[in-house]
Structures are given as C-alpha cells and as structure tokens.
Chains A and B, each alone.
Chain A
Amino acid sequence: MSTTDPVSRLERALAATAGHFVVTAEIGPPKGINIDPVIAEARHSLSQGVTAVNVTDIQTAVMRAGSLVGCKLLIDVGIEPVLQMVTRDRNRLALQSDLLSAYILGVRNVLALTGDHVAMGDHPEAKIVYDLDSVGLLAAMTNLEAGHDLGRDLKGKPNELDGAPAFFKGCCVTPCAQEVEPQVIKLAKKVAAGAQFVQTQAVYDPAAFESFMKLVEKYGIKVPILVGIVLLKNAGMAKYMNKSVPGVSVPEPIIQRLSDAAKADRQKVAVDIAAELVAAMKPMCQGAHLMTLGWDHCVPQIVAQAGITVAPPAAAAATTKPAERAAIQLSDFAKDSGMGARLIDGEPLAQEMQQKIAVEAAELTAKGRKPRLVAVQVGENPASKIYTNMQAKNCESVGIEYQLLNLPAEMMQEELLARLAELGADHAVTGIILQMPLPPQINARTVQAAIDWRKDVEGLHPANLGRLLLSNEIVAPCTAKAAVELLKRTCPDLAGKETVVVGHSEIVGKPVAALLLQSLNASPTVTVCHVATKDLAAHTRRAEVLIVATGVSQARWLGYQRRRKAGEAVSRPDLSPIIKADMLREGAIVIDVAINRIPRGLDGAGEPLKNAKGKPDLVTVGDVDFQGALSKVAAITPVPGGVGPVTVAMLLANTLACAKALA
C-alpha cells in the first residue's frame, strides 16, 4: 500500500488506522444528455453517510453518457467520485489519456475493470478493444504515477510525463464465482499491479463471502475490501441475476421474501434485505459498496438499518432499540433519552461536521487558497460582540481565517455598498457575512444583495436562493440547512412523509421547504403554515414530521416590553409554546428551530421573575412544549443543543463551500 499521504477521502477513510466501516454507492449516467436528475438525486441521497460514489463506465456494454462527465459533475456538487474505467472500448493511448484528463478534473479514485463484453450489451456488432486487461490498466496507472506512460521515446527510454497524477486505485473481484481460486489469484495480481482497494461483485451469501475472505487472507492480500450489494428491487430481478449474472447467486429465501412482499412493501423489503446483508458481512470486511440501480434514496436507510455509524464513529456504540411509538422508521442518530422520545442531539453532528471542515480547510490552505471570512459590522452592539467573538473562535478552530470589519454606525448605505464591492473584488476574501442589526439608514435586503453571491456564506443572496430552488446551490441559509440535516439523519427515508413547516421566513421556513423538495421521487409532502393559517392544530396533528420556526414567544415578550416602556396599556403576554402537546401527532419527529429567550414567568405586576442575583430569570426554550412532547413523539430536538450547534457548524460549512467553489 501507498506510504504517501492519502490522495482522496476514500483512501483516508479506508486507511487501516481509520477503522471506519466505509460505504460507497454507485450511479449510472443516462442514455442521453439528461444527467441533471441523476446528479440531483445523488446530491440529495448520497451526500451524507457515503464516502464516495462510483460512476459506471458504459455499464453492461449498453451505450450511455460517460463516467468522467458524471465524476466531474459529482465533484461540482461536493461528492467524491470513483471513476470506473473499463478496457473494452479504449486502447492504451485513450485509457492513459483519459486517466490524465480525469486527474486534471479532480478525480482521484479510479476503479479498473475489464468490462462486460459487447455481446452482453446493445451494440453486439461493435469491435472490442481489450488492448489492456484490468491488471494491465492498474499497471499503467502505477506507471503514470511514477511519471511514465507505457510508450518509449526514440532512444527506447520510457516517456517522461509533464506532471504525474496520483490515484487511489481500485479493482473488482467476484467472491461467489463457482470456482473462486482463479478469482483470488487474479486479485493478488491486481494488488501486485497497484490496486489499493476492492469493490466486489454482488454478494448475497455471507457464508460464501466468509470462505472467500479466508482465501484472500491465505493469498496474503491485505487491501481493504468493500463487499458489493446490488439492491434487489423485486423477485423477478433476483431470478434474472441468478440466471444471467455470472458469479452471483441469490439464495431462495431472499427471493421468497421478495415475492411474498406486497407491492407497497417491496422497497422496504429490498432495503431490509440489503441492510441485513451489510450487517452480516460488516465484521468480515472494511466497507460496503451499494449498487442501488437508481434507487439512491434507499441508501441512507440501508446505512442506518445496517447499524453503520457515519465516520467519524461516535464514541459510544449506538443502541439499536427502536422508538416504540415511531410512526416512521428512525435511524440510530437520535438517542434514547430515557424520557420517552429520543433526543435529536445536534452536538455530535456539529462536531463531526467541524472535523470534516477542518480537514478540507487544511487541504485548501495547502493549495494556497486559505478560506477567509470577513464579518462586516456597522456600529457597536453588545449582543453582536458576543456573536462575533464566537464566530472568530469557531473559524479559528477549523482553520478558517476570520476578520471583523468594524464600520462606523453613521456610515451611509452607498459607502457600505462600496466597501462590499471592494471585499467582493479582493481575491483573498472567500466569504462575507453581514452582522445584524444594521443602523436604520441602511436597508438590509439591498445590502445583502450587493454582496458578491459567491462569497455569501449565509446563502441569502437572491442568486443563492435561486440556485436553491433549482437544486444546484453551493450554499443555503444555515438554520434551514441545519434543521433539514438533523431531520435527514434522524429519518433517512422521508419519501412522501406528511411534513408540516410552521413559519415561512426567508431564513428558515421557505428554504426548509425548498431543501425538502429537492428529490425527484423521495421528497416528503410539505405543508407550510404561517400567520394566516386558519387552523394550525389541524395541520400539526397530522404531521409525521413537524418543523417549527416561529419565535412567537420571544416576539411577544419583546413587544410586551417595548409597549410597557412606551407607557402603553398592555395585557399580560402569552409566553407559552405555540405548539402544545395536544397539537402533536403520536410518534412524530419534531425539529424545533426556534430559540426564545424569555422570562421563566411573570410576577403579579407583570414583571419577569428574578433569579438569585436579582436579575430577570430568563430561559431558552423552543416553540414546542418540550416536556409534553417527550411522552408523545418519537424524537425531538432539545432547545438549546438541537438545531443551534448545527447552525453554527453550517455557517462554517457554507464558508468552506464558498472557498472551494472559488478555488
């Protein structure tokens, strides 16, 4: 194995010291030019929990768009690809040339394959090439890495490359071939030729896989192996594979389960089978390669059900105890609180994100593109001070440079616009954030829209909000993204779920709805309630997923104080949560986005109760009756500690995303 630094995330994740169980998935480019849905679906379903995504190369010799373009588009949306490369269609000139092209475009993982014979595909009259075989292709890659191609110059010396690539090189093997030894002998040759990881052909028989792994050990093969699973969508497909796919054998009980399943349950059964297989073979290998043939949306559920902790692994082993009252399937992300509902804790996710951001920020810095966030503050504000101090600390902890630009409170809008234009033009600045509140002479929307959209780390610029609707966003409003991310982690399969969003603000409600509607065929059914909604409870009571972001209690408290100060007659405000326990559906998942800082109670004079120090006794609560919810719902975010920490991490993630897109 390579002793140099890992060239890809996949290599890093599979490094022996990492000790994670790694999941890879697979997409196939279309027969035609409409690749956007494929990429959007991958982005929706394969961005989390999956380390890398293979892009097939004219799979089964059926003509379609190429692997390289799929890889490039995945890179553009932040997914690490594995370039599949078959030797069927290109000779050594084209293979080596395409390897260089792939490296130039940012591809680092390559899976070398011989490729199905053209006789298996839809152009059986085509001329086959097979100038190299898979072993030869691996050797060619190793050669390229050493700075040479397979040719020779006029003096007979190996040609020198003008810059050598470095790949993480993979190969395939068929563990359940009837005669397995020749497979393992060839695998050993592939490893000797440079293969650093293995993704296997589909395996449905853990016992056969175990004996294969023993043979692998006997042959001294030490590279990480990801067991392949093709998602069996129905019994017909399983039978077809038994009949027509060499080296794949689906046991009869699995076929039986698929044929017994009612049509409506088939997808669930397919996911169950895949997850059980992964769970069974997990102890024998280093990862799983999930080939879902277009059903990308099943991947998160398989990962969750197979009990795979997303890297980096959580300190404590996740309990697999299901939430008894869950109307919907939950992952192990939300932990048993001992109080009834599971708690959706934002801290571990925030930490996981920050670790990942730190690694990527370091990569950018190493390339001379250190992310740099400039916070623009107009006028002094004690509350903002606390906030900017925290921003500075967080940025520093992940290796993002932070600069606070303090501008005078009397600054006119035109001057501020000019300053923002300067920051937009400054190449060293990769992110800009505008601190609220702004003085009255400045219109927040106008100024927000004047920030270079590529540096808008809050995702509030019209261009970024527009991209969000088109599902090709680089960044999205932090709070909304945090809420959706926690939800997806808790419940990977949201397809068709009755989801009610309460609040239709630009920073939460609207972008939450947009984010939830990004999948073509696995989106929840979203209802957005707001101030004009006639019967809020009627909506929330049928919500399998409830996302609340109103901050009504806080607004009432602030309004009450202001009017009292102004000497107006004002009645006692209702500071109780807007969502009462009786408005919740049994077994729902609740994401409480609001952070209300309000008094624990009011005294007889309408003044806030005081704490031991004689100060107003303020508490931080959400929009939902948390205590009441605990005995009713399946899972809920605490406030504080739920969406909040993830929002903070999301700002860093956005900052990194901007820097990456600019780099």
Chain B
Amino acid sequence: MIVAERKDIDEILQLLAPYKRVLVLGCGSCVTVCLTGGEKQAEELATLLNLAAKQKNLPLKVEFDCITRQCDREFIANLKGDLAGYDAVLSIACGVGVGFMSEQFPKVAILPGLNTTFYGANTAPGEWKEYCHGCGECVLAWTGGICPIARCSKSLINGTCGGTNDGKCEVKQEMDCAWYLIYKRLQELGRLNELSTFRPARNWSKDRSRGVRRLSHAELAQEPEQEEAHS
C-alpha cells in the first residue's frame, strides 16, 4: 500500500490562504488504512481548519467529503457536491489521487494535504514501514524477500557496506541493516551462495531515470491519451 503523512497544519493554512470555500477530500483506500487520509481524517482536518480560521480570524470555510478512490474515474460520481462550487479542494489522497483528480478537474485548484512517503505495510500497531521502492526491476528473488533497494539506505546490490553496525544501519540506530537481514535470511534458507554472486551495475532506467512510467496491457489498449512531454 501507499503510505502518506499529513502536512503540517501551518503549511496547509498557507496553501489555503488565497481561498475562502474549501473542500477537504478524503480517499477510502491506502491512506484510510494508514490513518492519514480517510473519511475520518477528512472530517477531523476540516474541523481543525475551521477552528484555526476562527482563531486567526480568517475568512475560510471548510467542508469535507470522501470517495472510495481518488485514482479511479469510476468513483468520481460518488462526490456529494460539484467541485467547481469550491475555491479549492484539499485532497488528502496520496500524490496519485491529487494528480489524477487535478487531471479530471482542470479548472479546480486541487491541493495536496499529505506528503506521500513510501510503499509499505503495517508492521506494528500505529507503525508502517517501507518495503518496496517501485524500482522497476525486482531483486527480491535473490535477497530472501528483503528489498535492498528500498531498505538499504544506500540501495546497494552486492552486500553490506562498512556502515553496518551490529545489525543496524549507521544512518539511524533504529533502522535495521537490510544486508544484515538478507545475510541472516539467506543463511537460514541455506542460500548464502546468492550473496556471493556478483550483481552487475543496475539498470536504473526502469526506476525514475526516464520520466513517466506506464503499464499497458496490449490486449486492453485503447487510443493512448495525449502524453505530456518529458525529457
């Protein structure tokens, strides 16, 4: 799932400064699960903003709504009101939702209320951790299912560096050394030979180096949309 954190309230107020009538729009998917962008959080944020507006004597009036997914046309019909009726929409979906909604409502100011942080999973009550980097060339087969791209602070591919510190990464004491975990897992699996195999320079072009990435199933393809120019 995609994990995101809410922006600081002062930053949000600053984003909304030019607007009077604002809708906080939640998303019922990932960000609901990680407790940052669901209906409940949309309501809380709207209340908080109205309160702040009152306190600071701002002409801001905030309502809220939530749809199942902001990254899917299908659910737009479920919006309670017309977005064009607002000066701005504060989307608390992930960046995908903000971007997709902006494309669907080109005349409405769609603003981000969250910082989208990573692809992760719920590892403990109230805690989500990164597991995947979306690098475009999965290596989990030979790393015991532990991703060095996402979980090694340097994204190394040939094993541990000198900064491994009693199983932890030197960058942060509370962060596991991914290559230590990989070593332990492969040892357990009797597959340490994977660690000894030379991994040549990665093909980072599948990461972000070539701009917008796209998935197309040829059998389902229709005319592609006009693509934005990227270099």
Contacts and interface: CB of A to CB of B under 8 A. Distances in A.
Do A and B make up one complex? yes
B161 interface: yes
Given A135-B198, A192-B198, A247 B164 contact: yes
Interface string A126-164: 001011111110011000000000100000000000000
Interface in B166-181: 166-167, 170-172, 179-180
B158 A120 contact: no
Contact of B162 (A135, A193, A201): A201
Interface stretch (A181-189, A322-330, A417-425): A181-189
Contact of A246 (B157, B163, B199, B201): B163
B198 A193 contact: yes
A140 B201 contact: yes
Nearest to B163: A246
A467 interface: no
Given A136-B200, A185-B195, A192-B198, A117 B153 contact: yes
Interface in A176-227: 177-179, 181-183, 185-186, 188-189, 192-193, 201
12 contacts: A88-B154, A117-B153, A117-B154, A133-B156, A133-B157, A173-B162, A174-B164, A178-B166, A185-B159, A185-B192, A186-B160, A192-B198
Nearest to B159: A186
Nearest to B182: A182
A173 B160 CA distance: 10
A136 B158 contact: yes
A-B residue pairs, 7 tightest by C-beta: A246-B165, A186-B159, A135-B158, A119-B171, A133-B156, A174-B162, A182-B183
A372 interface: no
Contacts of A136: 157-158, 200-201
A177 B164 contact: yes
A228 B11 CA distance: 49
Kindly state the interface size class of chain B when it binds its partner.
20 to 34
Interface in A437-495: none
Contacts of B183: 179, 181-182, 185
A76 interface: no
Contacts of A177: 162, 164
A92 interface: yes
A561 interface: no
A181 B195 CA distance: 11
Contacts of A188: 196
Nearest to B160: A182
Contact of A182 (B157, B171, B195, B199): B195
Scoring B154, B161, B196 by chain A CB atoms within 10 A of each residue's CB, the highest score goes to: B161
A133 B158 contact: yes
Interface in B29-78: none
Contacts of B153: 117, 119
B204 interface: yes
Contacts of B180: 179, 182
A88 B154 CA distance: 8
Interface residues of A, number: 36
Contact of B196 (A130, A183, A189): A189
A130 B158 contact: no
Interface in B134-165: 153-165
A114 B161 CA distance: 7
Nearest to B157: A133
A130 B154 CA distance: 6
A382 B179 CA distance: 77
Which of A92, A130, A172, A188 counts the most chain B CB atoms within 10 A? A130
A116 interface: yes
Given A136-B200, A182-B179, A247 B162 contact: yes
A185 B196 contact: yes
Interface of B: 153-167, 170-172, 179-180, 183, 192, 195-196, 198-202, 204
A192 B158 CA distance: 12
Main secondary structure of the interface of B (DSSP, over half): loop
B164 A182 contact: yes
Contact of A247 (B165, B172, B202): B165
A181 B192 CA distance: 11
Interface of A: 88, 92, 114, 116-117, 119-120, 128, 130-136, 139-140, 150, 172-174, 177-179, 181-183, 185-186, 188-189, 192-193, 201, 246-247
B201 A150 contact: yes
Contacts of B160: 182-183, 186
A170 to B, nearest CB: 14
A179 B163 contact: no
Contacts of A193: 198
A247 B170 CA distance: 10
A225 to B, nearest CB: 15
- Best-buried of A117, A134, A172 by chain B (most CB within 10 Å): A117
Contacts of B199: 135
Given A139-B200, A172-B162, A182-B159, 13 more contacts: A114-B156, A114-B162, A116-B163, A120-B170, A177-B164, A178-B167, A182-B179, A182-B195, A185-B159, A185-B192, A246-B162, A246-B170, A247-B165
Nearest to A244: B170
B175 to A, nearest CB: 10
B165 A132 contact: no
Given A119-B171, A136-B201, A185-B192, A128 B158 contact: no
A132 B202 CA distance: 8
Nearest to A136: B201
Contacts of A133: 154, 156-158, 161
A132 B198 CA distance: 13
A179 B170 contact: no
A213 B8 CA distance: 53
A456 B158 CA distance: 54
A150 to B, nearest CB: 6
A189 B201 contact: no
A114 B198 contact: no
A120 B165 CA distance: 14
A188 B179 CA distance: 16
A131 B201 CA distance: 8
A242 to B, nearest CB: 12
Contact of A179 (B155, B162, B167, B198): B167
Contacts of A246: 162-166, 170
A372 to B, nearest CB: 48
A246 B155 CA distance: 18
A185 to B, nearest CB: 5
A201 B162 CA distance: 8
Nearest to B158: A135
A287 B180 CA distance: 29
Contact of A114 (B154, B172, B195, B196): B154
